[in-house]
Structure 1
Amino acid sequence: MAGWIRIPTNAFSGSPRARFAVIGTVAVTLGGCATFTPDGGMSPVADHVTAAIGKDTVKITSPADAAAVQSRVKTLLARPLTADGAVQLALINNRGLQAEYNALGISEAAFIEASLPPNPVIGVERLTAGGSLEIERRLVADILALLTLPKRSDIAKTQFEAARQKAIEATFRTAAETRRAYYRAVAARQTVSFLKQARISADAAADLTRKLGETGAAKKLDQARAGAFSAEVSNELAQARLKAGTEREALTRMMGLWGTDLDYKLPGQLPKLPRIQTENQVEAEAVRKRVDLIAARLELDAMSKSLGLTQATRFVSMLDGAWRSNYERSTEDGVRESSSPRGFELEVQIPIFDLGGVNVRRARETYMQAVNRLLEKAINVRSEARSAYLTYRGTYDIARQYQNSILPLRRTINEQAQLEYNGMLIDVFELLTTARESIASNAAAIDAKRDFFIAAVDFETAIIGGGGSGGMAGEGPVATAGAESGGH
């Protein structure tokens, strides 16, 4: 819908209605067909999220939307929460994510604004002197803005596409952070449950040793060791409860819950270890799918178009056209005379001191800065994908080693130590040492399984985007470029 037109020299000499018709024709011919989408550009975002992670997301724009979301929240909270359920809650109820969707709507508004022609300026001037009255009417239009409208609209459209990718990345990031928070909260709760059982055993051992000491069958040293062991386990339990509380609150914040929704149920332990994923092309997948990298490419494309616009308009920084109409009335010796001369005025800023070189140089340097940032990001994305996969495989092997070897051996050691203690083959010190080592191994096994599930989340985000550092590299130059291009 964009093009160039020739304006006749007598186009502004007709009636005011005709003059406005000419300006309207110019605006429609040069303008684009951009209109607001019904959902603020959310449909592509929601479709991409569903295809990538199997969850849906919504933008709350009305009381009806809010009521529907709250009803769904109640349904999800009616049963023990799973990792997928927690992610789904966050994607529909996290207000920070809703703010990101609002940012997408703001970007769409900027796109629509850039697609519209500039508003004309109407001026009226009234002068009186010595019985003479003069009225001047002016209709001013920014011709340069009209001529560059298709280019500016194309740039804004590309920036809007980049904003969509950023909204997708924000959704992925919210989902990933929620999964991490979920696994941390469940692992902390499992640790609390384990230490509760350990404290029961430690208290029983301390009580038994104390009773044996009363009969003279246990030394004071053994009683002190058993008592210290019980106190240490109680202290570890207190620390675990504190951590479980803070981790649960972190999950609560990600899901956007408050009030009566805080009493949600978490499972007592982490899920079983799944089958390991094998990925041979992690680098290629990451470069192809990372939404932050796609957004950076789109922003670089917009900057390239802005650079071309700057070069094309370097010699003309102001070009205004105006239609003028004067009306004059004077009274001399009772004679009334009036005239209405009409004309067209064109104002062009003459580039005497600045030939546009400053803007062109700034745009080129900003563009090359963004190019280098994008290349750096592409290299980092490849490295992040490799590193995430190494961590994913490594944490899986560690967690499986605890599950298949270390914990079964610890159970055997505990059983044999108890038998030898009952047979008076070892003393209390060796029995308590064995118990301490067993507690440490079990707690480490829980942490190892938690670390694997978090590493699995990190591996996924390294491929599709939304990780802890996703979208950060390159934002500065792109944002700066956008600010610079807006002035051309």
Structure 2
Amino acid sequence: MNSRDFWRRRRASRASRTGGFCRTLQFRVSSCNNPEGGLSRARMLGRQGHARRRGRPMRKSLPHRLLAPGLLALATSACANVPADAGFSGISEVVSSRTGAAPVWPRTDAGRAEAMAAADEILAGRVGMDEAVALAFLSSPRLQAELEELGIARAELVSALLPPNPFVEVTRPARGNLLELEVSASLLDFLFWPQRARAGRAGMEAAQARATASLAEAAAEVRIAFIDHVAARQALDLYRQAEAAGQAAQLAAEALFDAGNIAQVDYDRQRQFAAQMIAERMKAEAEIGPTREHLVAVLGLTAEQAEKLQLAPRLPSPGEAPLDSERLVRAAMSDSLQLAAAEADLKQLAASRGVRNVGALLGDLEFGASFERDGSWSDESYTLGFSLPVDLGIAGRQRVASEFRQAMQTLQQTRLDSLADVRSAAQRAESARALALFHRDVSLPVSAEVFDGVVRDFNAMQIGMFELLQARRERVDAGRDYLDAVAAYWRSHADLERHVRVSEFEAADMAETGHIHPPEENDPAGMEPGHQQHEGHGH
């Protein structure tokens, strides 16, 4: 019954009574399956029975004795044990050990100002991957919104630890001295008070586990966004240099063609190569804006902060030693944050399962007491009412059982997904690491030697323009292949960070800097125009 129906019935009940002063005090606590706390029909019928028993003398007891000071003191003591930060300090320690950056949860103006100052300090320098994660923890509105789930869970826990909220009804007619006080409460909430408290604590633990996993996921997303943007910038640098070399080579080829030293087809091939490098540069430029905007959004930066953002120019080179994949997978599965969150959700459902099953059967099980005073307390009566579902609560209990089985299956699937994700990410990381080192140590040096040999043969008129252009193109492709392998390694590395701290399973420290292509003297884009012209004069 909603509040409108309740007051309509109360007015009808008053109209049937004789004149006098009437006032009602009602204490009501909602049952577990009816949080709105509507009045049951059974309780209204109990009140009608009370009206027929008004003539019974009342014992000398006052309504305020219905209050339970001892229970209130016990509840207050229990609430004092609820941490004010909803357990965020423990979450921060776990996330910091996993990601290398400590999250913050500012809830006051002073805390937000301190977080902003820390973000500005990071933006004052060059931002690498770890600094980007710390910056997101300080600035991201999305992360702060997700952390507020901790505050919501804490509030629900406090409500579960406290006794049910009383509902007081005071009724007084326009004439007479009759005073009526009515008190009613959900008996289920009182009987299952300890169970409600346990369910509230389980909900708090589930919220903490979800927040921890969410922060680890956010750190991985920040790293991937950082990798995508820095890799796009490196690709643009590569093709800008290749374009400059192509333009210079085209000018030299034009001079050679005008002098009659090369054929038209060779000149056209040089022009085609220059046009291809322009197209590659344009495609690389098209990736800069979207990847930067995505990174800024993930970091949660304002427009003013985004202008200050200066990123590291290159991705670090992968480590020389391989990952200890087997030990990494075992550790990830034994200490997975995603698994911990799924297990906490299952425990939360298990803690509330019994209360919800009883509530599905009895519905509104409410106890009420009514007192009247006409100069002195003269009458009291008590009522007990409950709503009996026509299906005997079968639907409600089936829902509880299905939700519990659903959580169990979700946990099992999360375990399988986590295992597959960790194994596949470790395999991708190791493959990309080996490929990046192969390109760095083999492909790039060999392509440099081939290019130098082709230039010498071209100057000696032993080969034509086609072979020179092909060697130059292969030189550019080798640089791009190395860059792609490095970026793929760090993306897989970030995926692993969702589950475990990867640095603990690396046999050697990572290099802090790396090159996507060889030094400038061997760079496919590093050929000076004058050198190309010198080749032509040698014909």
TM-score, normalising length from structure 2? 0.77
**Aligned-residue offset at 1:404:** 1.2
Deviation at 1:420, TM superposition (A): 0.7
Q: CA–CA distance in 2 between the matches of 1:37 and 1:385?
A: 34
Give the Cα–Cα distance (whole angstroms) in 2 for the partners of residues 380 and 310 of structure 1: 31
| Residue-by-residue CA offset, 1:218-268 (whole Å, 9 max, x unaligned) | 222222211121121012112212212322222222222233332322233
Q: Distance in 2 between matches of 1:58 and 1:382?
A: 30
Shift of the 378–12 alpha-carbon distance from structure 1 to 2, 3 Å rule, reads farther
Task: Report the Cα offset of residue 426 of structure 1.
Answer: 1.0
| Distance verdict in 2 for CA 1:313–1:247, change over 3 Å | closer
> Contact 2:63–2:371 at 8 Å: present in 1 too?
no
Residue 385 of structure 1 aligns with an amino acid whose one-letter code is V
> Following TM superposition, by how much is the alpha carbon of 1:89 offset from its aligned partner in structure 2, in angstroms?
0.8
307, 318, 322: which is aligned to 2:364? 318
* Counterpart check, 1:205 vs 2:249: yes
Which amino acid in structure 2 is aligned with residue 235 of structure 1? A
Match of 2:132 among 61, 86, 89: 86
Q: Report deviation, 1:437.
A: 1.7
Q: What pairs with 1:61-460 in structure 2 (closer than 5 Å)? A: 61-127=107-173, 134-261=178-305, 262-274=307-319, 275-313=321-359, 315-328=361-374, 340-349=377-386, 351=388, 353-460=390-497
Q: The residue matched to 1:294 in structure 2 has which SS? A: helix
- For 2:228, the aligned partner's letter is R
**Structure 1 contact 120–142 (Cα < 8 Å) conserved:** no
Q: How far 1:393 moved relative to its partner?
A: 1.1
CA distance in structure 2 between the aligned counterparts of 1:84 and 1:12, rounded to whole angstroms: 73
SS across alignment from 2:78: coil
Cα 1:17–1:440 shift into 2, 3 Å: same
Q: Which residue of 2 aligns with 1:14?
A: 61
Q: Is the 8 A contact 1:176 1:458 kept in 2?
A: yes
The CA RMSD over aligned residues, in Å, is 2.4
Higher RCO structure, 1 or 2 (CA under 8 Å, sep 6+): 2
Mapped pair 1:461 → 2:461: no
CA change 1:408–1:268 in 2 (3 A) is same
Alpha-carbon separation, structure 1, partners of 2:407 and 2:430: 34
Greater mean alpha carbon deviation, residues 217-226 or residues 406-415: 217-226
Q: 2:462 and 2:389 mapped to 1: Cα distance?
A: 102
Offset from partner CA, 1:82-101 (integer Å, 9 cap, x none): 11111111111111111111
Identity %: 24
What secondary structure, in the 3-state scheme, does the structure 2 residue paired with 1:280 have? helix
Cα deviation per residue 1:321-341 (whole Å; 9 max; x = unaligned)? 22212235xxxxxxxxx6642
SS in 1 for 2:294: helix
Contact 1:283 1:381 in 2 (8 A): no
TM-score by length of 1: 0.85
Output the CA distance in 2 between the equivalents of 1:207 and 1:272. 36
Asked if structure 2 preserves the Cα contact closer than 8 Å seen for 1:41 and 1:164, the reply is yes
Q: Secondary structure at the match of 2:171?
A: strand
Offset from partner CA, 1:335-364 (integer Å, 9 cap, x none): xxx664232312222637333333222211
Of 345-354 and 197-206, more deviation after overlay is shown by 345-354
1:312 CA drift (Å): 4.6
Partner Cα separation in structure 2 for residue 386 and residue 110 of structure 1: 38
What is the aligned length?
Answer: 443
Helix, strand or coil for the counterpart of 1:138?
strand
Closer, same or farther: CA 182–133 of 1 in aligned 2, 3 Å: same
CA 1:237–1:13 in 2, change beyond 3 Å: closer, same or farther?
A: farther
Unmatched runs of 5 consecutive residues or more in structure 1: 1-9, 329-337, 466-488
8 A Cα contact 2:230 2:312, kept in partner: yes
Q: Distance in 2 between matches of 1:80 and 1:315?
A: 63
Residue identity in the other structure for 2:317: K
Q: Can you list the C-alpha shifts for 1:270-313, whole angstroms capped at 9, x where unaligned?
A: 21222332132344322222112111111111212222223455
Aligned equivalents of 1:251, 1:88: Cα separation in 2: 14
Once the two structures are overlaid, the 10-residue window that deviates more, 178-187 or 158-167, is: 178-187
For structure 2, list consecutive stretches of 5 or more residues without a partner in the other structure: 1-56, 503-539
Once residues 262 and 328 of structure 2 are traced to their aligned partners in structure 1, the CA distance between those partners, rounded to angstroms, is 61
Amino acid at match of 1:326: E
Shift of 1:54: 2.4
1:60 aligned onto 2:106: yes
Amino acid at match of 1:190: Q
